[in-house]
Amino acid sequence: MFTEQDHHYMALAIKLAKQGHYTTSPNPRVGCVLVHEEVIDRVAAEREKINTQIIGTGFHQKAGQGHAEVNALLDATTNNPHLIKGSTAYVTLEPCSHFGRTPPCAQALIDAQVKRVVVAMVDPNPEVSGRGLAMLEQAGIQIAFGLLENEAKSLNVGFINVMTKALPYVRVKLAASLDGKTAMKNGESKWITSTNARFDVQKLRAQSCAVITGADSILTDNAKMTVRLVGIRRFKG
């Protein structure tokens, strides 16, 4: 059973994950919130009142850099190091259990001595799925998963498709007139989409790993298929 408090902090973790929307590829977008809990009324167990405090937040910014859990722990270490032990971590994706370009996040949470880890969705990668949760549980950490799972899945539809089906997630965009044409007979063409539609295309390009187009678009139109949207947040490193 998840509490209203659990929902609140997981929703915040999902919001954090969205900040890496255009920059984490090929890694998934993940957010993490660390919360310290303190019982402030011990009159009776059924009447316990708990005061909560966010002690650290983080999200995965770019492949090869720190994952969400590591960034949240770093934030907490900087501002509230004495409150990390015994805290609760809310993570949108199961903490990784293997060494990749960075060390496993499950071990980082174990080393930090958190008390509880709440996960939105289990890692869809069949080679590691469930292993991070198992590591945490074996270390004596309370685990729970499935909170706001659908919202977490919507963050990473491409990543999930690759991991579960070994296929890319494909989006198709076509600009055509009512008669199904994309240009005049002589090859002359101009925008037939609205400003909003062109804006959407730029966002789709920015979140895609690859863009596929017809040969004529390149040879005739010299289309670069680059992202020309101002204001997309990108993380350097």
Residue 47, CA distances (Å) to 37, 41, 42, 50, 194 in order: 15, 7, 7, 10, 58
User: 3-state class of 92 per DSSP?
Assistant: strand
User: 3-state class of 54 per DSSP?
Assistant: strand
69 is catalytic: yes
The CA distance from 113 to 33, in Å, is 15
Residue 106, CA distances (Å) to 6, 117, 145 in order: 20, 10, 14
Selection from 137, 53, 154, 151 nearest residue 95 by Cα: 137
From the candidates 69, 127, 137, 151, give the one annotated as an active-site residue: 69
pLDDT digit string (tens) for the chain, length 237 residues: 899 999 999 999 999 999 998 889 889 999 999 999 875 555 555 555 668 899 999 999 998 899 999 999 999 999 999 999 999 999 999 999 987 777 899 999 999 999 999 999 999 998 889 999 999 999 999 999 999 999 999 999 999 999 999 999 998 888 878 888 777 777 777 778 888 888 888 888 888 888 888 887 788 777 778 888 776 665 544
The CA distance from 121 to 144, in Å, is 10
Selection from 36, 28, 34, 38 nearest residue 10 by Cα: 34
115: Cβ–Cβ under 8 A, 6 or more apart, which residues? 86, 87, 88, 141, 142
- Give pTM, 2 decimals: 0.85
